[in-house]
Amino acid sequence: MNFEIPEELRRLRESTRRFVLEELMPLERQYADDPDLPDAVRNALQDKAKALGFWNFDIPRELGGGGVDNLGTCLVLEELARCLVPAFRTPTVFSPYVGPILYGCTPEQKKRYLDPVLSGDKRTAFALTEANGGSDPSRMRTTAVLEHDHYRINGNKIFITGADKADFVQLFARTADTSTPGGGVSCFLVDRGTPGMRLGQRFELMSSDRPWEIVFEEVRVPVSQLLGVPGQGWKLARDTLDVGRLIHGPKAIGRAERALELAIAHANQRETFGAPLATRQAIQWMVADSAVELNAARLMTYQAAWRADQGLDFHVEASQVKLYADDMLMRVVDRAIQIHGGLGLSRELPLEHMFRDARSRTITEGSSEIQRMIIASEFLSGRSGLNRFGQP
């Protein structure tokens, strides 16, 4: 097996690293705890990204994007994740959040929804989670009832990131019986300002994310705003979540790598009882464990990205990446804080922010328990073999 990163992807990674150091790091102290960058700042950064050829780097070439594959996307996101801005859950300055519209648009929907998102003129949000559950479609209570040429929608969605700035949401609602896995769920494109649709509660979380509740009361949506076909919604959601869970890997790797570098620098500089911390076995073992786990997460992530790039199924690998990489980040940041002592708890360093952010990642886009359920189900059902490298 060849573990060498292709030259063009190495150049992309280096260019991203320079952008992070020169453009994003100077903003960290001011905006690290904000759920999003101010529009003027974000737009200016996006303009610079466009001028450098970064914009839509991960969008297929046939849609006007850079066509960078999943492995390349992982390399870019590792570098971006080293900085605490933009926030983890908000669109990056290199590419907007796109979601299921990338997979299921009609030509008319592409002009109205997808193209404006890709140009940066519109923003969208992914509205799946409900109070009764987000990972179990059979528990979905938001309904969309077909009435002639439109659907009548009622229900609530919670923890929707970016809902306050979204020009439209990609809403998942029950259109038929959901007693079978994935059955009866459809996806709709609902414009901001549609009568009956409003923002509800804003959630204050321990991380910098500030998601919203969205309320739908007798909302009428034309049939033309159904994404895909009736009943296809859960597949669209799963395809989107698989990619979203895969990229938890590079985000955790980049953040953990920075935390480990801070811990190593402090251990070599700080002296206790006449000797550097780095000479203490307890500190050495923390560093060693973090380095091993970081490397394991990177290899796992790159292998899952490779499968995706080969057109192979990576559903179970995406869940493995999210489960392991997010837990790895928690442990690495926790050790880095311990090595720094009291200073690690202070806001003089980014570690306490990293810890809050890391804790949120084990829940968002499917909790660690959900990932274990998915992995166990795939293996116990026989859908996944013990050796899937290079296998469909």
Reported as a pLDDT band with limits 50, 70 and 90, residue 91 is: low
**Confidence at residue 256, expressed as pLDDT on a 0 to 100 scale:** 98
Reported as a pLDDT band with limits 50, 70 and 90, residue 391 is: low
Quick one: fold of 7-95?
Butyryl-Coa Dehydrogenase, subunit A; domain 1 (1.10.540)
Q: With 80 as the cut, is the pLDDT of residue 1 above it? A: no
Contact 50, 223 (CB under 8 A): no
Residue 160 CA to residue 127 CA, distance in Å, equals: 6
Contact 350, 260 (CB under 8 A): no
Mean pLDDT of the chain: 92
Query: Class assignment of domain 124-231?
Result: mainly beta
Q: With 70 as the cut, is the pLDDT of residue 142 above it? A: yes
Q: With 90 as the cut, is the pLDDT of residue 89 above it? A: no
**Confidence at residue 385, expressed as pLDDT on a 0 to 100 scale:** 58
pLDDT tens per residue, range 237-261: 989 999 999 999 999 999 999 999 9
Where are the extended beta strands (E) located within the chain? 124-127, 143-147, 150-160, 168-174, 185-191, 197-202, 212-222, 226-227, 271-272, 275-276
From the list 288, 280, 176, the residue with the least C-alpha distance to 232 is 176
Q: With 90 as the cut, is the pLDDT of residue 227 above it? A: yes
The predicted model gives 73-91 an average pLDDT of 87
Positive or negative, the Cα torsion across 45, 46, 49, 54? positive
Residue 301 CA to residue 257 CA, distance in Å, equals: 14
Q: With 70 as the cut, is the pLDDT of residue 392 above it? A: no
Please pick, among 293, 365, 369, 378, the residue that the annotation labels catalytic: 365
The predicted model gives 361-366 an average pLDDT of 90
**Confidence at residue 179, expressed as pLDDT on a 0 to 100 scale:** 61
Reported as a pLDDT band with limits 50, 70 and 90, residue 309 is: very high
The rounded Cα 68 to chain-centroid distance in angstroms is: 17
The predicted model gives 127-149 an average pLDDT of 86
Q: With 60 as the cut, is the pLDDT of residue 181 above it? A: no
Reported as a pLDDT band with limits 50, 70 and 90, residue 323 is: very high
Q: Which residue has the tokens 């983890």?
A: 88
The predicted model gives 318-329 an average pLDDT of 97
Q: With 80 as the cut, is the pLDDT of residue 386 above it? A: no
| Residue 217, SS3 per DSSP | strand
365 is catalytic: yes
Reported as a pLDDT band with limits 50, 70 and 90, residue 176 is: confident
**Confidence at residue 35, expressed as pLDDT on a 0 to 100 scale:** 85
**Confidence at residue 129, expressed as pLDDT on a 0 to 100 scale:** 92
Q: With 70 as the cut, is the pLDDT of residue 103 above it? A: yes
Q: Identify which has the larger pLDDT, 338 or 33.
A: 338
Rounded to two decimals, what is the model's pTM? Answer: 0.92
Q: Which long-range contacts (CB under 8 A, 24 or more apart) does 270-278 make?
A: 277/339
Buried b (16+ CB within 10 A) or exposed e, 346-373: eeebbbbbbbbbbbbbbebbbbbebbee
**Confidence at residue 382, expressed as pLDDT on a 0 to 100 scale:** 77
The predicted model gives 348-364 an average pLDDT of 94
Per domain, the residue ranges of the chain are 7-95, 124-231, 247-380
Q: With 80 as the cut, is the pLDDT of residue 136 above it? A: no
Reported as a pLDDT band with limits 50, 70 and 90, residue 180 is: low
Q: pLDDT > 70: what percent of the chain?
A: 94
Reported as a pLDDT band with limits 50, 70 and 90, residue 2 is: confident
Residue type, 144: A
Query: Class assignment of domain 247-380?
Result: mainly alpha
Q: With 60 as the cut, is the pLDDT of residue 390 above it? A: no
